[in-house]
Amino acid sequence: MTIGIGLLGLGTVGAGVAEILLNPQGRHPLVGQLALKRVAVRDLSRPRPVELPAEILCTDPQQVVNDPAVDIVVEVMGGLEPARSLILAAIAAGKPVVTANKAVIARYGEEIAAAAAERGVYVLIEAAVGGGIPIIEPLKQSLGGNRIQRVSGIINGTTNYILSRMADEGAAYGDVLADAQRLGYAEADPAADVEGGDAADKIAILSGLAYGGSIERSAIPTEGINRLDARDVNYAAQLGYVVKLVATAQCLGTDTDGTVQLDVRVNPTLLPKDHPLAGVHGVNNAILVEGDPVGRVMFYGPGAGAGPTASAVVADILNIAGIREATGQGGGLDPLLAASRWRSCRLVDPGQTQHRNYLRLQTGDQAGVIGRIGSCFGDEGVSIRSIVQFETSGACADAEIVVITHEVQEANFRRALAAITALPDVKAVAACLRTL
């Protein structure tokens, strides 16, 4: 039985998928049953890394969805529209969809999942988070027997590349970003990566799968690395930490009606050097899942790129093809593969969350300043893990004081910070970062 594949997009990921489908030798025998039937691109004259018969290429993506020879629609065009409408059109036509589009799934996942459930078709999204790392299906299936306590990860390769080089070379953020753009690791417009939006899309998706309910994507507190100072990366290293852009979804409890209370966020975060995520370098990604009873499980690998991402897309295609092979077109949806929502979740008030914090203060180099800062923390019940004064270079007489707190309620920390800012010898709060 041949299964017809329609590709929406033949860019980085689409060409990687075509490459696998056109070369099935040595792969699972089901790959040999997948046939590319129709492919939509924007520009037919653009050179492509894969050779396809001209008659299967088109510029109208709706033709791919409508083509009766296409059994599975693979959306790898990116962007919100027309991608969302095309996914919904495929579902309405009764065709399963595989997509790598985290932006669409993070914003319209609920609408798409409801339409898919109603029509009885699968929408699989393994490539939307972590590129080649299998994390979506493990969360849905292999870890399904656990109560998930926390999912945390380095899920943006561009920022991890920049942070790795800042740490290794002591280089400034702007210089490394420019280099990353030159090398093709960062987009010409890097905002979605460096401001944390891409990681927020991905943690919204992981949170929905781990906890069985959606949260509002736009409400996720998100801080990128674009204002990070190399000085903090350097001080963190001297104190035994590395700075990473960490996306986290953590269960804090449940309301009386069963709604799950979640702390979901994206922040530049200090990780102790022996933390499992601290050793993830360059463009690699890693996701740490903590669950009961499994404990800690870490998924690590290439978070982007044509080959790794295509590997995840083809895995999804094979899952759907395998079910067709086993059951024909009929039968209900496998509830583990279909990833239904089964309870409601809500984000907690950030002031009620508990964290450790790193704080860098610029102060006058006067006797007693450390004591006065300590008193402000003490008044709010914030206990200090370490407080260090760093020499500042140059002629200025300022001192830099770095504080790392123990775990503290965010609201108490903020009140202490307001009091510290008001001290006459504190000139500026130069940095404030999360710490694990």
Q: Indicate the DSSP class of residue 259.
A: P
Nearer to ligand NAP, 179 or 187 (CB): 187
Nearer to ligand NAP, 100 or 278 (CB): 100
Q: Is 370 one of the binding residues for ligand NAP (CB under 6 A)?
A: no
As measured in angstroms, the least distance from the Cβ of 300 to ligand NAP is: 16
Helix (H) or strand (E) holding 325: helix 306-327
Q: Is 78 one of the binding residues for ligand NAP (CB under 6 A)?
A: yes
As measured in angstroms, the least distance from the Cβ of 175 to ligand NAP is: 24
Rounded Cα–Cα distance for residues 119 and 111 (Å): 12
- Judged by CB under 6 A, the residue of 23, 28, 32, 42 near ligand NAP is 42
CA 124 to chain centre: 17
Rounded Cα–Cα distance for residues 98 and 137 (Å): 13
Q: Whose CA is closest to 245, among 207, 274, 277?
A: 277
Nearer to ligand NAP, 2 or 59 (CB): 59
3-state helix, strand, coil in the chain (%, to 5): 40, 25, 35
Size of the site for ligand NAP (CB under 6 A): 25
Q: At 299, phi and psi to the nearest 5?
A: -115, 130
As measured in angstroms, the least distance from the Cβ of 81 to ligand NAP is: 9
As measured in angstroms, the least distance from the Cβ of 305 to ligand NAP is: 5
Q: Whose CA is closest to 425, among 382, 386, 376?
A: 376
Nearer to ligand NAP, 75 or 400 (CB): 75
Nearer to ligand NAP, 77 or 121 (CB): 77
> ∠ CA 275-385-278 to the nearest 5 degrees?
15
Label residue 140 exposed, middle or buried (CB < 10 Å: 0-12, 13-18, 19+): buried
Q: Is 9 one of the binding residues for ligand NAP (CB under 6 A)?
A: yes
Is residue 130 within 8 A of residue 287, CB to CB? The reply is yes
Nearer to ligand NAP, 61 or 213 (CB): 61
Rounded Cα–Cα distance for residues 17 and 23 (Å): 10
Q: At 398, phi and psi to the nearest 5?
A: -70, 155
**Three-state secondary structure call for residue 431:** strand
- Judged by CB under 6 A, the residue of 20, 30, 41, 361 near ligand NAP is 41
Nearer to ligand NAP, 128 or 416 (CB): 128
Q: Which residue of the set 37, 102, 202, 244 is catalytic? A: 202
The footprint of ligand NAP on residues 112-131 (CB under 6 A) is 127, 131
Q: Is 156 one of the binding residues for ligand NAP (CB under 6 A)?
A: no
- Judged by CB under 6 A, the residue of 309, 311, 363, 405 near ligand NAP is 309
Half-sphere exposure for 66 (CA within 13 Å, toward CB): 5
Residue 395 falls in which region: left (phi positive, over 0), alpha (psi -120 to 50) or beta: alpha
Q: Is 46 one of the binding residues for ligand NAP (CB under 6 A)?
A: yes
Stretch that binds ligand NAP, among 95-103, 108-116, 223-231, 370-378 (CB under 6 A): 95-103
Q: Is 100 one of the binding residues for ligand NAP (CB under 6 A)?
A: yes
As measured in angstroms, the least distance from the Cβ of 62 to ligand NAP is: 9
Q: Is 13 one of the binding residues for ligand NAP (CB under 6 A)?
A: yes
Rounded Cα–Cα distance for residues 324 and 326 (Å): 5
Based on the residue annotation, tell me whether 202 is a catalytic residue of this protein: yes
Q: At 435, phi and psi to the nearest 5?
A: -135, 135
- Judged by CB under 6 A, the residue of 18, 36, 40, 262 near ligand NAP is 40
The footprint of ligand NAP on residues 54-73 (CB under 6 A) is 59, 61
Q: Is 101 one of the binding residues for ligand NAP (CB under 6 A)?
A: yes
As measured in angstroms, the least distance from the Cβ of 401 to ligand NAP is: 41
Q: Indicate the DSSP class of residue 302.
A: E
Q: Is 153 one of the binding residues for ligand NAP (CB under 6 A)?
A: no
Residue 309 falls in which region: left (phi positive, over 0), alpha (psi -120 to 50) or beta: alpha
Positions touching ligand NAP (CB under 6 A) are 9-14, 40-43, 46, 59, 61, 76-78, 82, 100-102, 127, 131, 304-305, 309
Catalytic positions, please? Answer: 202
